[in-house]
Structure 1
Amino acid sequence: MRQPISLIALDVDRTTLTDDYRLLPAVVEAVARAVEADVQVVAATARAPNALRGIAASLGLKGPSVCLNGAWTGTILSDEAMMEHGAPMNFARTKALISQAEAVGLNPCWFTETDWHALSHGHLVEREAHATQTNPVLASSLDELAQPIFKVLCLETAGTGDALEKLADNFAGDFNFVRSDRHLVEITSSGVSKQGAVAALTKRLGVDRENVAAIGDSENDLDLIRWAGFGIAMGNGSEAVKRAADWVTWSNAHAGAAFAIDTIIAANRAAARTPEV
Structure 2
Amino acid sequence: MMRQPISLIALDVDRTTLTDDYRLLPAVVEAVARAAEADVQVVAATARAPNALRDIAAALGLRGPSVCLNGAWTGTILPDEAVMERGVAMDLTRTKILIAEAEAAGLNPCWFTEAGWHALSEGHLVEREARATQTEPVLTPSLECFGEPVFKVLCLETERSGDALDRLMVRFTDEFSFVRSDRHLIEITANGVSKQGAIAALTRRLGVDRESVAAIGDSENDLDLIRWAGFGVAMGNGTEVVKRAADWVTWSNAHAGAAFAIDTIIAANRAAICPAGIRT
Q: Map 1:115-194; keep pairs closer than 5 Å.
A: 115-194=116-195
Question: Which residue of the partner structure matches residue 7 of structure 1?
Answer: 8
Q: Deviations over 1:133-158 (max 9, x none)?
A: 00000012111424100000000112
CA contact (8 A) 1:65 1:76 kept: yes
TM-score normalized by the length of structure 1: 0.97
Cα distance in 1 for partners of 2:137, 2:228 equals 34
Cα distance in 2 for partners of 1:163, 1:176 equals 17
Cα displacement (A) at 1:161: 1.1
One-letter identity of the residue aligned with 2:164:
A
SS in 1 for 2:144: helix
SS in 2 for 1:69: helix
Cα distance in 1 for partners of 2:167, 2:94 equals 15
SS in 2 for 1:56: helix
One-letter identity of the residue aligned with 1:188:
T
Question: Which residue of the partner structure matches residue 58 of structure 1?
Answer: 59
One-letter identity of the residue aligned with 2:223:
L
Q: Deviations over 1:62-92 (max 9, x none)?
A: 0000000000000000000000000000011
Question: Which residue of the partner structure matches residue 47 of structure 1?
Answer: 48
SS in 2 for 1:74: strand
SS in 1 for 2:269: helix
One-letter identity of the residue aligned with 1:100:
E
Cα displacement (A) at 1:8: 0.1
One-letter identity of the residue aligned with 1:187:
I
Q: Deviations over 1:15-64 (max 9, x none)?
A: 00000000000000000000000000000000000000000000000000
Question: Which residue of the partner structure matches residue 278 of structure 2?
Answer: none
Question: Which residue of the partner structure matches residue 28 of structure 2?
Answer: 27
SS in 2 for 1:106: coil
One-letter identity of the residue aligned with 2:131:
H
Cα distance in 2 for partners of 1:144, 1:78 equals 31
One-letter identity of the residue aligned with 1:67:
C
Asked if 1:243 corresponds to 2:227, the answer is: no
Unmatched runs of 5 consecutive residues or more in structure 2: 274-280
Cα distance in 2 for partners of 1:52, 1:266 equals 28
Q: Deviations over 1:138-185 (max 9, x none)?
A: 012111424100000000112211100100111011100001111111
SS in 2 for 1:215: strand
Cα distance in 2 for partners of 1:11, 1:144 equals 34
Question: Which residue of the partner structure matches residue 275 of structure 1?
Answer: none
SS in 2 for 1:180: strand
Cα distance in 2 for partners of 1:172, 1:119 equals 23
Cα distance in 1 for partners of 2:207, 2:243 equals 28
One-letter identity of the residue aligned with 1:57:
A
TM-score normalized by the length of structure 2: 0.96
Question: Which residue of the partner structure matches residue 93 of structure 2?
Answer: 92
Cα distance in 2 for partners of 1:202, 1:84 equals 13
> Structure 1 stretch 179-188 or stretch 238-247: which is displaced more?
179-188
Cα distance in 2 for partners of 1:24, 1:181 equals 22
Cα distance in 2 for partners of 1:264, 1:64 equals 21
Cα distance in 1 for partners of 2:59, 2:7 equals 21
Identity percentage over the alignment? 81
Asked if 1:226 corresponds to 2:227, the answer is: yes
Cα distance in 2 for partners of 1:66, 1:75 equals 9
Cα distance in 2 for partners of 1:257, 1:270 equals 20
Root-mean-square deviation (CA, aligned residues, Å) is: 0.7
Unmatched runs of 5 consecutive residues or more in structure 1: 273-277
CA contact (8 A) 1:112 1:146 kept: no
Question: Which residue of the partner structure matches residue 109 of structure 2?
Answer: 108
Cα distance in 2 for partners of 1:71, 1:217 equals 19
User: In the comparison of the two structures, how many residue pairs are matched?
Assistant: 272
